[in-house]
Every structure is written in structure tokens, then in C-alpha cells.
Amino acid sequence: MNTIALPDASLWQGATSLSQLAPILAEGPDAASFLHGQLSQDVLLLPEGQARHAAYCSVKGRMLADFLMFKAGPDQILLLLDAEVLPATLKRLSMFVMRAKAKLSDASAPWAVVGGVGASALTAFGGAADQAAHSVQPGAHGGWVVRLPDVLGAVRSLWVGPREASEGLLGTLPALPAQVWPWLDVMSGVARIQLPTVDQFVPQMINFEVIGGVNFKKGCYPGQEIVARSQYRGTLKRRLHLAHSDAMASVGQEVFSADDPGQPAGLVANVAPIPGGQGCSVLMELKLAHAGSTLSLGAPDGPSLSVDALPYEIPPQDA
């Protein structure tokens, strides 16, 4: 495979509507305690002004959805997730509310999510130049500004607020090319659960505990015993990797290793075309035993994959 040239992300400036993300609003005096018993994150101790990742797992410890969540007001928590995964996730979570004084609702009609790249977008959203990664603060037009970690020198932020205000906000900034935000998402190394990967991954398989999405000190939640066992008993055999290919991949596509071509070695979690170039970048869950081997998409003789470094460190015991 030829060397794939990646674009200079630090040059991009602008904003785009993120229809691929949608919010669930949890509200009521028991909203935090209810979510605390369902998610991998400590929701009771979720501080104001901070966004955290959280996994929603089956009883077998497999992720049904992932969230980026923050407090949106007194007794209100907003959870951002993949829009296509939202309906089933909301239905399942709502089944367990029972007597809790909490209400869960699809907030995608009144709330919009806008992604910004560059310092000018962060400022237009109402954020501060020195706003720390994963911090949340009140933003422009009655919304919230979530500062995301930089990727390849690109400043990234989210504006989450009233849908009627989003078009006006977008009108103040250059429009990002359609491929930019999805590609930066992949390059961030933070996987998102999409429909083809629902119920496929224990959180550690996609490095979810490395990015702070699992709290091992909190109480029980669905799948907690399996997630903890994977962490402390050395049973984790898979990790998330970043790679590129000259060909296009698809979410849920199998990955094969030349060392053992008879069975899949991994699974594509997320994929995005490389802006202005050829091919795509992927986040793939991969058996650690094949991390250094020759990899291909879809079949042993499929398009080749070139592994790249993630933007964060993996614990040395299983790196």
C-alpha cells in the first residue's frame, strides 16, 4: 500500500451541524442516582462544568451505547450519543426507571448539536480560549459549550443548545467540509457505538476506560462484574487501534490478519473518508496478538490496513 498523505487539520476553521449526534435528557430529583445505577460512570459525583464519557452495557458487559454527558441544569443531565442508537437506548433505559423520580426523553427536537473546529468557532460558541478539554460552560444563544481534546492541532468544540438558535450560529462561521468532523472524530481515538457495533464490545476492547469512560470504584451497574474482571484478571485480549486504508471500509466490517487468515482478527468500529484525499481512516477493535501483523479489510486478501499511533497512551501491560 502506498503511503497515505493526511491533511493538515490545524488549517481548518468552521462549524457544522452534527445530525449524527443526538441528546437524551434525564431530569428529575432521582435522575443522577438512576443513571448512576445504569452506567459505567460515577454520575452522582459528576461535577458541574465537566463532561464525562459513560458506557451503557448489557448484563454480559457489552456496550449498547456510549454517552458524552454533562449537567445541563438543576436535576438535569444531557447525554449525547449516536442518533441511530438513541431510540433503542432510550426505550431500554426507560424500562428501568420504575419508581425513580426521573424522566428520560429524546431531546433532539428542541436541542441541536453543532461541531466547531478552530479557535474562532470556540469563541463564537461562547467558549474561552483557555477552556480546558472536557469542560462545559454556558455558551451563546442559551446553549452549552463543550471543549473537546485537540486533534492533530485542530481545536474542537461542541455547542449544544436550542435548535432555533443553531442556524443563526452556523451562519456566523464558515461551513466545514462534510468529511472534516467525522475524520477528526476517528483521529481522536474515541470510538462511538453505532448500530452495527451495538452489543459487540466490552468497554476496554475500545479503550473506553483509557479515555475515562469507566469508573472502577463506583457501585454496580449492568455488566459491571464482567467489565471489572476484564480489568483485573488479565482477560483482556483486544484493544482499539487507529489505521488507514487506500480503500473504503464500513462500520462492522471484519479485519483479518495474515498470521491467522482463517478467522477474523478484529472489527471496524468507526470509519471516515480522509478529507481531500483517497481512502479512509478507521478505528478498529483488534486482537492484541495481531497488532503487529499484516492486516486487511473484509477478507484475508482484502485491501490492506496501515496502523497509526493513537493520540493517547495505552497501559504498558497490554500496549
Q: What is the mean pLDDT of each run of 10 residues along the chain (319 residues)?
A: 80 97 98 98 97 98 98 96 98 96 97 98 97 97 98 98 97 97 98 98 97 94 93 82 97 98 98 94 97 96 97 77
Give, as one character, the DSSP assignment of residue 203: G
What dotted CATH number matches 195-308? 2.40.30.160
Listed by start position, the domains of the chain span: 14-177, 195-308
pLDDT at site 250: 98
Nearest to 79 by CA among 101, 108, 99: 108
pLDDT at site 234: 67
Helix (H, G, I), strand (E, B) or coil at 311: coil
Length of the chain, please?
319
pLDDT at site 1: 43
The three grid cell numbers given for residue 10, joined into one nine-digit string:
490545524
Please enumerate in sequence order all residues whose Cβ is within 8 A of that of 89, keeping only pairs 6 or more positions apart, or say none: 24, 56, 64, 65, 81
Name the CATH superfamily, with its identifier, for domain 14-177. Probable tRNA modification gtpase trme; domain 1 (3.30.1360.120)
pLDDT at site 235: 65
Surface-to-core class of residue 231, CB atoms within 10 Å of its CB (0-12 exposed, 13-18 middle, 19+ buried): middle
The three grid cell numbers given for residue 47, joined into one nine-digit string:
461535577
pLDDT at site 319: 45
pLDDT at site 229: 87
Q: How far apart are CA 71 and CA 39, in angstroms?
A: 15
> How are beta strands 238-245 and 280-287 bridged, if at all?
antiparallel
How far the first Cα of the chain sits from its last, in Å, is 25
pLDDT at site 243: 98
